Amino acid sequence: MTAVSAKTRVALWDNARFALIVLVVVGHLISTVRTDTEFGFALYAYIYLFHMPAMIALSGLFLKPKVTPKAINSTVQLLVAWLAWEGIWAVMRGLVEGKQLSQSFLVTPSWTLWFLVTLATMRILLPYIARLKHPLLVSTALALIAPLSPAIGVEFSAARTLAFLPFFVGAWLARERGWFSREWFATPNGAVRAAAWGLLVSVALGLTALALTPAGLKGSWRIDRWLTHRDSYAWMFDNAPLGAWNANGPGVVGWFGLAAGGMLVGAILVAVAAAMTLALLLVVPRKRSVFTVWGARTLSVYLLHGVVVWALRGSGFVDAVGSLGWIGIVLLSLVAVAIAAVLSTRIVSRVFGPIIEPRIDWLFRPAPAAHKK
């Protein structure tokens, strides 16, 4: 999500970035009222099925598995931005909410800041993963095995880093092998687009159908807790069982049953997220528009929207609008789109640039001429 010269940008990727950042803002704005209505819960689940895997995939798309001065600079810049925003959040919460620094400060990233830590970690890991014979297979195995251990959690965003690693590695690998240059993807025909739309709509209809059952979607399965990718399989089967399929139920017997069940659910969620990510990329317009320009500034939106959402929650706005039922969810979604659009403007990017992408050249010695490219 870093800045790239306008001449080298491809409209498809920036259009996709803007679509995804809108989903990020919508998801965060409706998060605290998602369980008030079945519609809100279904929309939240739909968004979280794939929006962050897709964001991670786009973040890994153009990276090279080489430790160059430029790569080091961009990774350190992410970490500096994370530390700066940890300080910003600490000050705001201290002044407004009277909160003091907790023992987990800097160990557990604040709210949305996990993404910066995860992205920096993935960039550090990529040169090593790229040397493996089967990098995608290994990263997927790590994603499915990690939740077996309760010790792998929110600290330094370890759980999410491993959970989303297959999407980061998969996108890098797909571009390395030229898959995105093939005709079916570069210029998808009507049949391919129809199939992609069919998948996206089918998932939406499936969630809607579950929401309309007597038990409702959230009554049948608190899938939202699985989609945050923060907790172990044991915790999720205890706190978000699939109907009667829980840690003590007939479907999960002992540790091995829990492990097999968790990995099965995890594999399905990975497959669904990958399919929906690909489908989104197939239906996103390939032509330049105002959304293309906005999509080049998604990091600004990602970091700044949290402050706006936090303020709207604290003011009671989100609860008041959310109390209107499904209409309230629609209104909040429209507000989220407006927030994303405003935060994508050039003036916002310029004003907040120093804390979005802080300059850190002063930290490094000048790179040798042979490595400046």
Of 240, 243, 217, 204, the residue nearest 35 (C-alpha) = 217
Model confidence at 361: pLDDT above 90: no
Give 88's contacts (C-beta < 8 A, 6+ positions apart): 355
Residue 1 has pLDDT above 70, yes or no: no
Print burial letters for 105-124: b (CB count within 10 Å at least 16), e (below 16). Answer: ebebbbebbbbbbbbbbbbe
pLDDT of residue 359: 85
Give 19-63 pLDDT, tens digit per residue. 999 999 999 999 999 999 999 999 999 999 999 999 999 999 988
pLDDT digits (tens, 9 = 90+) for 73-107: 899 999 999 999 999 999 999 999 888 888 889 99
3-class SS letters over 89-114 = HHHHHHHHCCCCCCCCCCCCCCHHHH
Burial of 69 (0-12, 13-18, 19+ CB in 10 A): middle
Tens digits of per-residue pLDDT, 194-205? 999 999 999 999
The confidence score (pLDDT) of residue 43 equals 97
CA atoms within 13 A on the CB side of 122: 32
If pLDDT is split at 50, 70 and 90, which confidence band does 281 have? Answer: very high
How far is Cα 75 from Cα 120, in angstroms, rounded to an integer? 5
The pLDDT score that the predictor gives to residue 16 is 97
CB 230 within 8 A of CB 111: no
Per-residue pLDDT tens digits for 173-187 = 999 999 999 999 999
In terms of DSSP H, where are the helices of 110-232? Answer: 114-129, 135-145, 158-176, 183-186, 190-211, 217-220, 223-227
Residue 4 pLDDT grade (very low, low, confident, very high; cuts 50, 70, 90) = very low
Residue 369 has pLDDT above 80, yes or no: no
Give the per-residue SS3 of 241-297: CECCECCCCCCCCHHHHHHHHHHHHHHHHHHHHHHHHHHHHHHCCCCCCHHHHHHCC
Query: 180-195 burial by CB neighbour count: b if 16+ within 10 A, else e?
Result: beeeeeeebeeebeee
Give 308-319 as a DSSP string: HHHHHHHTTHHH
**What's 175's DSSP letter?**
H
| Weakest mean pLDDT among 74-88, 236-250, 261-275 | 236-250
DSSP 366: P
| Mean pLDDT confidence for 124-128 | 95
Q: Copy the structure tokens of residue 183.
A: 């005709």
